[in-house]
Amino acid sequence: MFFKTPSILKNLNIEQKLTVLAPVFTKEESVLDFGCGDLSLAKALKSRNPSLTITGVDVVSVKDKPSEISFFTYNGSQLPFKDRTFDTTISFYVFHHCKDVEVSLRECVRVAKKRIIVVESVARNPIELPFMRFLDWLYNIWKPEPIPLTYQFLTLMQWQKLFKKADLIVKTQKAITIMLQPPFLPIGRSYLFVLRRRQ
């Protein structure tokens, strides 16, 4: 049995996501929302900045597809787009659901011309991992579509190594607060990474 998220919590979550992402998008550009889910973030970004051309992609299908946003499903390993199709790729709490974080990051880089924007829960120490996994399970159990739960939570050092291996320049790296989670709880810390391709 699945549960529906209270609309007040969903709206609060979207508003907090917009607070993080909206300042990053200040001009007209094409954007891929990697792991877009129900497209709620894509729709909110489009509403805030109508000049954005947004495409969503996910391993699960979306029932309600707005006409102003394109949507594609993919097989979880290779994105169905040519190299450098989009100006920017965004990933909001998606990589910890992926089977292979390095492969998924490489695909996001491949289809981006300029930037890759990542928001992720980062483990600060091994003790936090069981709590992060439980919280991820609890947050996703209510969803009507089965969400892959692979619990690929990485440390800051592991992310930095992946970015270097993918030949990315880290323009922004900062801790952020989503859903009013106190930083002293043993559930990791959310980070915003704004990355640029070297070439």
State the pLDDT at residue 11: 53
Report whether pLDDT(28) > 60.
yes
CA distance 124 to 110: 29
Q: What is the pLDDT of residue 180?
A: 61
Whether residue 70 lies inside any domain: the answer is: yes
Report pLDDT digits (tens) over 53-107: 999 999 988 888 888 999 999 999 899 999 999 999 999 999 999 999 999 999 9
At residue 185, the pLDDT reads 80
CATH number for position 45: 3.40.50.150
Cβ burial, residue 131 (10 Å; 0-12/13-18/19+): middle
Mean pLDDT along residues 122-131: 94
Domain for residue 159, yes or no?
A: yes
The whole-model pTM stands at 0.89
Task: Work out the pLDDT band at 19, boundaries 50, 70, 90.
Answer: confident
Question: What's the number of domains the chain is made of?
Answer: 1
Q: What is the mean pLDDT of residues 17-46?
A: 91
Residues 6+ apart with CB under 8 A from 88: 25, 29, 30, 31, 32, 112, 113, 114, 115, 116, 117
Mean pLDDT across 15-36: 90
Residue 1 covered by a domain: no
Question: Has residue 116 been placed in a domain?
Answer: yes
Question: Can you give the residue range of the structural domain that contains 50?
Answer: 7-197
User: In this predicted model, what pLDDT tens digit does every residue of 131-178 receive, in sequence order?
Assistant: 999 988 988 887 777 788 999 999 999 999 999 999 999 999 999 987
pLDDT over 80 (residue 3): no
Residue 136 burial (C-beta neighbours within 10 Å; 0-12, 13-18, 19+): buried
| Over residues 31-35, mean pLDDT | 97
- In this structure, are residues 45 and 22 in contact, taking their beta carbons and an 8 Å threshold? yes
List % helix, strand, coil for the chain (3-state, nearest 5): 35, 25, 40
189 in any annotated domain: yes
Let me know if residue 2 belongs to a domain: no
**pLDDT at residue 138 in the model:** 87
181 occurs within a structural domain: yes
Mean per-residue pLDDT for 180-196? 85
Going by pLDDT thresholds of 50, 70 and 90, the confidence category of residue 186 is: confident
Question: What's residue 179's pLDDT?
Answer: 65
